[in-house]
Amino acid sequence: MNVTYQALAQGAMLYDGSRLYQMQPEQFEMDYWQSQPNPPELATGGRGTVVFIGGDQFSWALRHYRRGGLPGRVLSDQFLFLGENPTRSFREFRLLAMLYDMGLPVPRPVAARYVRSGAIYRADLITARIPEARPLSSLLDSAELGNEIWANTGKLIRRFHDAGVCHADLNAHNIMVNSSGELFLLDFDRGTIRQDGQWKQANLQRLRRSLDKISGANPGINVSEADWSRLLEAYSE
């Protein structure tokens, strides 16, 4: 992937120069897409605001970075500017580009931007939309969900862990399943590359808490101990 840098009046952006001849700053703005023939489609889940955008030749996911928890109630989408490289959007874009080039099942990064205002900045990321894919969380009450999905989820996580990839928010909303049953991992905000360590087990436990939370909030969903055991067995193979 050819990562191309472009300075802006109040920030900068990165984009995949091997796929795009040029990226326009307005393509990160909702007003731009609302004026296009294909209206944007709002997605749900996660801390950021994700909107599906595109045309006849492409389909992208645009995410505006937002804070979670208590800080998010005060600062919303504002982050302290400590230089270009540590910006959330640039870090995630570069990590995704590396993982994509390694052949790991992640969405292809398209472009990233930050806009600075004094000591703070706001940020956006555009990735390729994974066709005909749904989050694992939306399939937990589906008759389509068979035993194989748990084994495949364990194998998916193992692939990333073997590559030293620590996902900062591994949960059932960030694991995507397409119509062919292939699995992908999304949302690498604050993700890192690490040496072997206890973070792998912490990653798995974070996913388990996510599944338990979904089960607890939805009486029709029951992720059993047998399901979790299948996931762990496949992870350990």
User: Which residue among the candidates 16, 31, 162, 169 is catalytic per the annotation?
Assistant: 169
Can you tell me the distance from the alpha carbon of 40 to that of 61, in angstroms, rounded to the nearest whole number? 10
Do the beta carbons of residue 122 and residue 78 sit within 8 Å?
A: yes
Residue 123: burial class (beta carbons within 10 Å; 0-12, 13-18, 19+):
buried
**169 given a catalytic annotation:** yes
Q: Annotated catalytic sites, by residue? A: 169
